Amino acid sequence: MNVYVAQTATRMARRGVEVEIFTRATSSEQPPVVELAPGVQVRFVAAGPFEGLGKDDLPSQLCAFTAGVLRAEARHEPGFYDVVHSHYWLSGQVGWLARDRWGVPLVHTAHTLARVKNAALAAGDTPEPRVRVIGEDQVVAEADRLVANTEIEAKQLIDLYDADPRRTVTIPPGVDTERFRPGDRCAARAGLELADDAVVLAFVGRIQRLKAPDVLLRAAAELLARTPSLRERLVVLVAGGPSGSGMSEPTSMQELAAELGIDDVVRFLPPRGGDDLVHVYRAADVVVVPSYNESFGLVALEAQACGTPVVASRVGGLPVAVAEGRSGLLVSGHDISDWADALGELVADPGRRERMATAAAGHAQKFSWDRTTDALLGAYDEARTEYRARAGGADRAS
């Protein structure tokens, strides 16, 4: 979501649209306002303690955050803002109030949906709370435009949240193809101290049950049980740190690797971004995205843009992000044998991996942040036109 906001905001500014991003301050060291890029300002709003505020505590700070947002607007002349675009349900609650206060349309992107997540929970994972479900219902009912990442997500909004199809638009996210592109695999491996002939499977993302990194570890153990000689070359990279529900089990993956007897082939890397992330994608033979739910799956798209095939779950937006059979493979469900089969196919066939690598880079080129930005600006214009028409009709009726 942070990538989505930063990429689209920056591109809007290049088109002459001024953007202000409101986000909660997480450190006392943060200044009130910083410039992300020319034309893009980030406002850090004090709402609750700076450190140690967990996901479940965030709803308690909605009032404080809303107050900070409204106070910032009050310093401007009336009509300063033209559109409110909220991301995730918490921001949607704030955006709903700001929309009414400022007299502008609300555009909302959910990114994930509680009812969808709860329908596909990993074993032992905690369901999204009822307060979130209610909050999402309210935002969906109030938003002037709902932006879905895929047609599947649009259908979920309509079927599960009774969203108005006329106010629901599908706009796929993009990928930064200037940063994420094919490059020198040997150099990437050298930087990570990996052998040129290693077989490298990589997971990139948050370490929590929703993202299912355990599925990769268990499938790797199954591969080694089937082909013991593979242990000499296999490397499993897990890049990311615990967040959300994973915070309660910060060392769960290390413990699982030891329990499975594969801790000698698994390497844990801290969270990374930018060029450091590019090196992980380029170094891998296959990037694995075994999530239980993904509204789109930017990791899959970024990996493919780097020329790396993907094995992913057949859930959410991943069937859109991955061209099955050409740029990667999709696996239905989370049966470890099925995942081992899919990974084993690519591990055993370097020629197929190379063909998929070429196709992966080409597939990713179909998605760009410029297209996403242009579509969003179009949705903003439509929402503004309809909002003004409704407001004008209300004035005449009164």
**Residues 172-181: tens digit of each pLDDT:** 999 999 999 9
The answer to whether 375 is a known ligand-binding residue is: no
Do β-strands 266-269 and 234-239 pair in parallel, antiparallel, or remain unpaired?
parallel
Q: How does DSSP classify residue 24?
A: E
Burial of 355 (0-12, 13-18, 19+ CB in 10 A): middle
- Residue ranges of the alpha helices (H) in the chain? 2-14, 62-74, 88-102, 114-119, 130-142, 151-161, 185-191, 213-226, 252-260, 274-283, 298-305, 318-321, 336-347, 350-364, 369-397
| Average pLDDT for 50-75 | 89
- Give me the phi and psi of 43, to 5 degrees please: -105, 120
* Per-residue confidence band for 392, with pLDDT thresholds at 50, 70 and 90: confident
pTM above 0.85, yes or no: yes
- Sketch out the chain's domains with CATH numbers: 1-174+369-385 (3.40.50.2000), 185-361 (3.40.50.2000)
* Per-residue confidence band for 246, with pLDDT thresholds at 50, 70 and 90: very low
The answer to whether 352 is a known ligand-binding residue is: no
* Separation of alpha carbons 3 and 17, rounded Å: 18
The answer to whether 272 is a known ligand-binding residue is: yes
Span 313-368, pLDDT tens digits = 999 899 999 999 999 999 999 999 999 999 999 999 999 999 999 999 999 999 99
Percent of the chain whose pLDDT exceeds 90: 83
The answer to whether 88 is a known ligand-binding residue is: yes
Neighbours of 62 (CB within 10 A): 17
The answer to whether 130 is a known ligand-binding residue is: no
The answer to whether 112 is a known ligand-binding residue is: yes
The answer to whether 155 is a known ligand-binding residue is: no
| Exposure on the CB side of residue 274, measured as CA atoms within 13 A | 1
Percent of the chain whose pLDDT exceeds 70: 96
User: Tokens standing for 239?
Assistant: 């890049």
Q: Which of 61, 52, 57 is nearest to 24 (CA)?
A: 61
Span 189-236, pLDDT tens digits = 999 999 999 999 999 999 989 999 999 999 999 999 999 999 999 999
* Separation of alpha carbons 177 and 364, rounded Å: 8
The answer to whether 55 is a known ligand-binding residue is: yes
User: Which residues, in sequence order, are CB contacts of 160 under 8 Å at separation 6+?
Assistant: 113, 115, 116
Rg of the chain's alpha carbons, rounded to an integer?
Answer: 22
Span 339-349, pLDDT tens digits = 999 999 999 99
The answer to whether 292 is a known ligand-binding residue is: no
Q: Of 209-218, 269-278, 377-386, which range is least confident?
A: 269-278
The answer to whether 284 is a known ligand-binding residue is: yes
* pLDDT value, residue 241: 84
The answer to whether 8 is a known ligand-binding residue is: no
* pLDDT value, residue 394: 60
